[in-house]
Amino acid sequence: MSEEPKYQFGEAYKLMLYEGERTGRVVTIWNSRDGVSPFMVDIDGEVFKHILWDRDKTAPAHELKPGDYFFRDTTREDATQAAETVVNLRWPRLKGSARDKRVAELVPQMLEQGGSKLPWLDRKAAKA
């Protein structure tokens, strides 16, 4: 009997089911990392919640197909984009260097928390 590999986080490399609150559509999202994954995500303007946790499957060698969703580590570029969105929504009157300073303050929080890289939802591109 082979023992399942030990990872730092329980949801490492899991295939997980998420269900849309509005449509009931179910999608599979692969956590491509040994890191945490969110309970809820936004896909095309709809909130999707992680469901049926007991059916999560560990799949470290999972191969994505075009159109598949997956979590990856947030990059500095992703964090900057997210921080700019937050600043634009919460402080719409901030301009110039004051805006840039607020964005720069938020970027580290968007990259990691508690020593763990934060997840970023992505989708495998369709073949060209």
Query: pLDDT (tens digit, 9 = 90+) per residue, 20-54?
Result: 999 999 999 999 999 889 999 999 999 999 999 99
The residue segments making up the domain with residue 49 are: 14-74+113-123
pLDDT higher than threshold 70 for residue 9 = yes
On whether the CB atoms of residues 38 and 87 are closer than 8 A, the answer is: no
Residue 64 included in any domain: yes
Residue 63 included in any domain: yes
Q: Give percent of the chain with pLDDT exceeding 90.
A: 73
- Band (pLDDT 50/70/90 cuts) for residue 3 is low
Residue 90 included in any domain: no
DSSP-derived secondary structure letter, 53: G
Torsion on CA atoms 48, 64, 72, 51, rounded to nearest 10: 30
Does the pTM surpass 0.95? The reply is no
Residue 57 included in any domain: yes
Residue 18 included in any domain: yes
Question: What confidence score (pLDDT) does residue 18 get?
Answer: 98
Residue 25 included in any domain: yes
Question: What confidence score (pLDDT) does residue 114 get?
Answer: 64
Residue 20 included in any domain: yes
Domain count, the chain: 1
Residue 4 included in any domain: no
